[in-house]
Amino acid sequence: MQGSTRRMGVMTDVHRRFLQLLMTHGVLEEWDVQRLQKHCYKVHDRTATVEKLEDFINNINSVLESLYIEIKKGVTEDDGRPIYALVNLATTSISKMASDFAENELDLFRKALELIIDSETGFASSTNILNLVDQLKGKKMRKKEAEHVLQKFVQNKWLIEKEGEFTLHGRAILEMEQYIRETYPDAVKVCTICHSLLIQGQSCETCGIRMHLPCVAKYFQSHSEPRCPHCNDYWPHEIPEVFDPEKEREASISKSNRRSLRSRQH
């Protein structure tokens, strides 16, 4: 054995339970992942010290490596929330979805994906997607059925719907980046700051470079006058706020407190 090989982690019942629960969710925000980890320790090993999340996940990943599966960390494109998803590294993701969806449903996803990738905004309207149902492979699908299938993609966290338009969920981006880069090399957009795949973001009106909203927020945090990192022209868009996990946590705690207060009053 070479000395440089990565040390194999040891999976305990805590790790196994965590992995099973993450598999059922498909994708979770960091805050929920931390709660899930604590829950698994409580159930299986109350006396153990809770391992640092990063080490805990690295430990699981070192065991999953040989199966070409990995727990991958990413951020949501619209507001920069950290998310974790269980990602299949071996196959392209549309075929990975195959166990959950029929052939014509997968083709509908493929068509929606193409429209999203080709669009300037990273969104495809439900009207444009539904207009393609006659071209689907496999069993014929009515528009009404197709609407239900699109909702199924939303529930399974492959798509996000905003006001009748669809874009890719963070889970789909984490899972499918490689597939999208290989399948649509001419249409793919990349963020100038983090060099990852970009579906929705802002672009410079002068030179055309693009940035994710969370990357825009971080990059311009310390700039009093926002200028394009590439051509130095004035950046004309509104600068979003940087995601703050502490603020988010306080908001969710006060929301749950308000909920329990309301339920006590009724």
Q: pLDDT for 43-98, tens place per residue?
A: 998 888 889 999 999 999 999 998 888 999 999 998 899 999 998 887 666 766 76
**Buried b / exposed e across 147-183, counting CB within 10 Å, b at 16+?**
eebbebbeebbbbbeeeebbbbbbbbbbbbbebbeeb
The domains of the chain are located at 13-67, 94-184, 188-246
Fold of 188-246: Herpes Virus-1 (3.30.40)
State in words which class domain 13-67 has: alpha beta
Which of 89, 260, 68, 66 lies closest to 179 in space, CA to CA? 89
| The token pair that represents 149 in the structure block | 């299938």
pLDDT for 11 equals 87
Using N-to-C axis directions, what is the helix angle for 245-265 and 30-44, rounded to 10°?
A: 70
Based on the number of CB atoms within 10 Å of its own CB, is 93 exposed (0-12), middle (13-18) or buried (19 or more)? buried
pTM of the predicted structure, to 2 decimals = 0.82
Q: Alpha helices, DSSP H only, in the chain?
A: 13-25, 30-44, 53-64, 93-96, 103-118, 126-130, 143-155, 170-183, 213-219, 245-265
The C-alpha atoms of residue 256 and residue 181 are separated, in whole angstroms, by 41
10-residue mean pLDDT profile of the chain (266 residues): values are 52 94 92 95 88 94 92 92 88 69 92 95 96 90 95 94 95 90 92 94 95 94 89 93 73 60 56
| The token pair that represents 46 in the structure block | 């109350």
CATH number of the 94-184 domain: 1.10.10.10
pLDDT for 223 equals 80
